[in-house]
């Protein structure tokens, strides 16, 4: 396997491999771009079946962070770290400390944070070794959970998409299907309920979905049928790559907007949605609320109202993206990419 010919390699500035025999650490840090600032991105701990899969994840996710930070106007670049280990069985303090030393060796070019397989407690252990850790609450948001901020951003994005796609200013009576009522999906459902929308909820966790549906007087659909729901808006808040060929054909909604990362199974799916007249809201624009809050946690002048104002700015960014897409008669996805790229100049191009 050669790095520079790897399909997910996109002029990444640096890839760092780390090994620590004593703790069993095998890790990769991918730094995609630092033009706007240090590369921030979560630490994923996962039992990757092969080293190649771990590298692909680090390359893809670090690039995504560059775009998300740039579009959210944060003074940050894009990076990601992965540890090849089962977080349930192999995550030890020694492993995390070794990871901390690897991060420290970068001298601040890479800043880590929580991601799947790592949590706030793990960040505290890493912070014992290096200061280059985010996701530790210094001001406000004592729970350390970015999901309410992500959900607030998605809600703002949804309102904007409704203005552009349905030419409506209010959400009263609109039908919204939410796929996944976990951390973000549940908060989003509450915002939408308060705004007068009617909800159709699906989750593989049947207890959780029943409970929330009862409370919010929502309908339920099975995880397999949620794509066929007769709704105005489809909100993917579960896993990535959900918008594949079959789902793009099945959707009845006029708008897609949700929290999930990497919703498009392939970039071409954006064109397919556009051809079907479905307004796609670029995921990394809509779901940047949590990252915005994490970035503010690094500042001495953290203020909750300023964080919320910054997150509400997602609506202005989307206004620009939807306007440009409508002028150019194309999907908003490539427009968002171009706008993000205008905000960071790739170093190695």
Active site residues: 80
Residue 142, classified by CB atoms within 10 Å of its CB into exposed (0-12), middle (13-18) or buried (19+), is exposed
In angstroms, what is the minimal distance from the CB of 337 to ligand NAD? 18
Residue closer to ligand NAD (CB basis): 27 or 178: 178
Residue closer to ligand NAD (CB basis): 79 or 100: 79
In angstroms, what is the minimal distance from the CB of 188 to ligand NAD? 9
Structure tokens belonging to residue 5: 């010919």
Structure tokens belonging to residue 82: 């992965």
Cβ proximity of 82 and 57 under 8 Å: yes
C-alpha distance across the termini of the chain, in Å = 23
The one-character DSSP state at 117 is T
In angstroms, what is the minimal distance from the CB of 209 to ligand NAD? 8
Q: In terms of Cα–Cα distance, which of 101, 111, 126, 99 is closest to 38?
A: 111
Task: Note the residues at the interface with ligand NAD (CB under 6 A).
Answer: 146-147, 150, 179-185, 202-205, 208, 223, 237-240, 259-261, 287, 290
The residue number with the shortest CB distance to ligand NAD is 182
Residue closer to ligand NAD (CB basis): 110 or 149: 149
Is the torsion defined by CA of 174, 179, 185, 190 positive or negative?
positive
- Residue 113 forms beta bridges with which residues? 42
Residue closer to ligand NAD (CB basis): 180 or 334: 180
In angstroms, what is the minimal distance from the CB of 346 to ligand NAD? 23
Residue closer to ligand NAD (CB basis): 95 or 209: 209
In angstroms, what is the minimal distance from the CB of 127 to ligand NAD? 20
Rounded Cα gap, residues 182 and 188, in angstroms: 10
Q: Which residues contact 101 (CB under 8 A, 6 or more apart)?
A: 20, 129, 130
């Amino acid at each position: 396997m050669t790095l520079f010919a790897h399909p997910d390699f996109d002029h990444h500035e640096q890839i760092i491999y780390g090994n620590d025999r004593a703790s069993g650490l095998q890790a990769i840090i991918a730094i995609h771009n630092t033009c706007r600032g240090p590369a921030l991105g979560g630490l994923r701990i996962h039992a990757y079946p092969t080293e190649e899969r771990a590298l692909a994840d680090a390359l893809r996710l670090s690039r995504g962070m560059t775009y998300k930070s740039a579009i959210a106007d944060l003074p940050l670049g894009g990076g990601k770290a992965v540890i090849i280990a089962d977080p349930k069985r192999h995550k030890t303090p020694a492993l995390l400390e070794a990871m901390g030393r690897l991060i420290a060796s970068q001298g601040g070019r890479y800043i880590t944070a929580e991601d799947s397989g790592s949590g706030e407690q793990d960040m505290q252990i890493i912070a014992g070794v290096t200061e280059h850790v985010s996701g530790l609450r210094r001001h406000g948001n004592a729970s350390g959970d970015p999901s309410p901020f992500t959900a607030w951003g998605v809600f703002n994005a949804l309102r904007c998409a409704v203005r552009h796609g349905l030419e409506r200013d209010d959400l009263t009576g609109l039908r919204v299907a939410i796929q996944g009522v976990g951390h973000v999906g549940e908060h989003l459902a509450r915002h939408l309920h308060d705004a007068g929308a009617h909800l159709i909820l699906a989750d593989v966790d049947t207890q959780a979905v029943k409970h929330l549906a009862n409370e919010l007087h929502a309908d339920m659909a099975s995880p397999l049928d949620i794509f066929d729901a007769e709704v105005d808006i489809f909100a993917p808040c579960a896993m990535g790559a959900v918008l594949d060929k079959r789902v793009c054909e099945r959707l009845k909604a006029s708008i897609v907007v949700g929290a999930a990362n990497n919703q498009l199974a392939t970039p071409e799916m954006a064109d397919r949605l556009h051809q079907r007249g479905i307004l796609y809201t670029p995921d990394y624009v809509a779901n940047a609320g949590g990252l915005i809050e994490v970035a503010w946690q690094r500042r001495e002048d953290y203020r909750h109202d300023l964080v919320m104002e910054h997150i509400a700015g997602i609506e202005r960014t989307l206004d620009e993206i939807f306007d440009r897409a409508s002028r150019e008669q194309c999907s908003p996805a490539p427009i968002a990419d171009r706008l993000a790229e205008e905000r960071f100049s790739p170093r190695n191009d």
